[in-house]
Amino acid sequence: MQILRNLFFDIAYQTGVSQPFRRILAKNNDLVILTFHRVSDDVDKLWPPMPITAFRALMEKLVKTFRIIDINNVTTLPDSSGPPFLAVTFDDGYSDFIDNAVPILLDLGIPACQSVCPFLIDRRTPPWTQVLSLCLTSLEEKDLKLPDGTNFEISEPVDEKVFLELCDRLYLIDDEARSAWLDNLAATLQVTYDLYSMMTWDDIRSCIQNGFSIGSHSYSHRNLSKVEESELLETEITLSRQRILEETGIAPSVFSFPNGLYNDNSLKVVEKSGYSIALLCDEKPANLDIINDSDGLLCLPRIDIGRANWKEEVLRSSGFHYQIKRIRES
């Protein structure tokens, strides 16, 4: 199935299908905001990173077909005709950003914003979803007891579909209970994070010195759609901004919601804390006319990207997947 999918997108790319979709973006005055996570040649069948050569190929194509901007400058874009605008963002703060992505971005003159979780940077541990993928690859049991007392039957083969189904189940569980359960599971399986190291604060300061911007991805990567307590929201949103300011001397203006999940209270705290941009994960372009008319917190959708087939990602960046989905739903 994957072979046929790759063949389809290879042919679509070669025939120039992305061009009319980019014209639609420009006509609608849309801004494409991409979100990456990892750029690495490490093998991870459950949460695969984008290979380094694929990332370079994608960036080389995008820099020729879009006007690439720093997301922090979204409200000061020139009102002129031309190719559509595009912004590059990263979430989580993996060390392969500075090792593998930064050299390519610098070489091509592409700005980017990396949003980090101070708690994960301090502990040098990856987000819980990454820890879960590591546990699944080491797990021999086929019936997993979840922290809410229910069971999850692990079907063979253990692939990305199984992993995402388990993630969906765990998202419904309280963060504290899930975290304690996952820490215990990782300790039992003796899981190590050698291939999934996080950046250090020195790495982050180096990124800033090289012209990249830093955003907040919450303090500890909680599901903020389920947090109602004001004190906990202050920790996840306000404290995160303060820690980044303490370590870098710059208070971030961008807040990236973990997994794009939020509620009304979390949005209010984001705005109150001094952020001007909130990044979501709605898999569609943002509209510059709406952005320019806004006088409050900007809530901007992003398109998740980073698959191995860079030609498919060129089409995704051009709005192909979004427009096809709209046609199917109409």
CB-based contact 13:315 (threshold 8 Å): yes
Distance from C-alpha of 132 to C-alpha of 88, rounded to nearest angstrom = 27
Please tell me what DSSP assigns to residue 197: P
Architecture per CATH, domain 2-124+212-329, reads as Alpha-Beta Barrel (3.20)
Strands 67-69 and 85-92: parallel
Say what the pLDDT of residue 138 is.
Answer: 83
pLDDT value for 20: 93
Question: Are the beta carbons of 138 and 176 closer than 8 angstroms?
Answer: no
78: helix, strand or coil: coil
What is the structure's pLDDT at 163?
A: 86
pTM of the predicted structure, to 2 decimals: 0.93
User: Residue 329 is encoded by which pair of tokens?
Assistant: 């739903």
**Pairing mode, if any, of strands 143-145 and 277-279?**
unpaired
Which sign does the torsion angle of CA 80, 35, 321, 104 carry?
positive
Place of tokens 């692939």: 159
Secondary structure (3-state) at 86: strand
Number of neighbours of residue 6 by Cβ within 10 angstroms: 15
Q: What is the pLDDT of residue 254?
A: 98
Instruction: Output the six-digit token pair for 180.
Output: 């304690």
Domain ranges, ordered by start, for the chain: 2-124+212-329, 128-189
Q: What is the pLDDT of residue 175?
A: 83
Q: Helix (H, G, I), strand (E, B), or coil: what is residue 160?
A: helix
Which amino acid is it at 228?
Answer: E
The reported pLDDT for the residue numbered 304 is 95
pLDDT at residue 6 in the model: 86
Asked if residues 279 and 256 have their Cβ atoms less than 8 Å apart, the reply is yes
Successive 10-residue mean pLDDT values, the chain, 330 residues: 84 91 94 96 86 97 97 88 95 97 98 97 90 85 86 82 87 86 91 86 98 97 87 94 98 96 93 96 92 87 92 94 88
